[in-house]
Amino acid sequence: MQFIQDLPAWAIGPVCVLGFVAPALIGLWLVHRNIHERLRISEILIDNGVVGWFFSGILTIYGITLGLIAVTTWESSSAVAGVASREAAAIAALYQDSGGFASPLREDLRAKLRDYTQFVIERAWPAQRRGEILSDGNLMLDEIQRQLIANEPNTESMRLLQAEALDKFNELVEWRRQRTEAVNNGVPGVVWAVIMLGAVLTIATAYCFQMQPFRLHLQSWPQ
């Protein structure tokens, strides 16, 4: 179902109507024409009251399932957003700390942090949306770490600054690791299968109601 998330906002409505609502209505027409009318089930077998009880039970269970999945997905999305925010905060803190180093280390660190931030926004996030993890970010962080470790402070204040910068760098690495691990936090295929199966079962149960003429069933079914 990843393709739905990649659609622009204006296309989601038409795709849902054409991909889900229209086939369901066509299926209702086929069932009404080939089963209800030909076999005259309405006269001998089906009681709308009984169907209504089954339909209500299935719809209730399905609604609860969808609600739980929606809450879990929202919580996961919020957690990932928090991780990305903390990663950005670590980058900003390290950028500020790098201002205390002497030139040319100061300019090199800030340039690499800008490149890393641009890489995350323009390449890493779109790739992560597709379920991919790019290794270039690790290489960029390794280069920043190499420069920080190679620096030799000669005063107490510079040693404190070095320790603070390394601490912020470690935080940056940790938040990056958590962000990349979130690639696998999407809705599993098994859950999507349960959702689709429940939708098919709910729609199929709605087909069992007996309403004549067909226009009345067609108008009342979506409600």
pLDDT tens over the chain, length 223 residues: 666 667 777 887 888 888 888 888 888 888 777 776 666 655 555 666 777 787 888 888 888 888 888 888 888 888 888 888 999 999 999 999 999 888 899 999 999 999 999 999 999 988 887 778 888 889 999 999 999 998 888 888 889 999 999 999 999 999 999 988 887 776 777 877 888 888 888 888 887 777 666 666 666 554 4
pLDDT of residue 76: 81
Residue 72 CA, chain-centre distance (Å), reads 11
The number of residues making up the chain comes to: 223
Contacts of 176 (CB under 8 A, 6+ apart): 87, 137, 141
Question: Rounded distance, CA 196 to CA 199, Å?
Answer: 5
Structure tokens at 191: 């859950």
pLDDT of residue 223: 47
Question: Rounded distance, CA 25 to CA 111, Å?
Answer: 58
pTM, entire model: 0.69
> Are the CB atoms for 80 and 182 separated by under 8 Å?
yes
Instruction: Identify how many contiguous H helices and E strands the chain contains and give both numbers.
Output: 12, 0
> Are the CB atoms for 203 and 27 separated by under 8 Å?
yes
Question: Rounded distance, CA 40 to CA 134, Å?
Answer: 61
Give the torsion sign (CA, 141, 145, 151, 157). Answer: positive
Cis geometry, peptide bond prior to residue 23 (ω within 30 degrees of 0): no
> Are the CB atoms for 172 and 89 separated by under 8 Å?
no
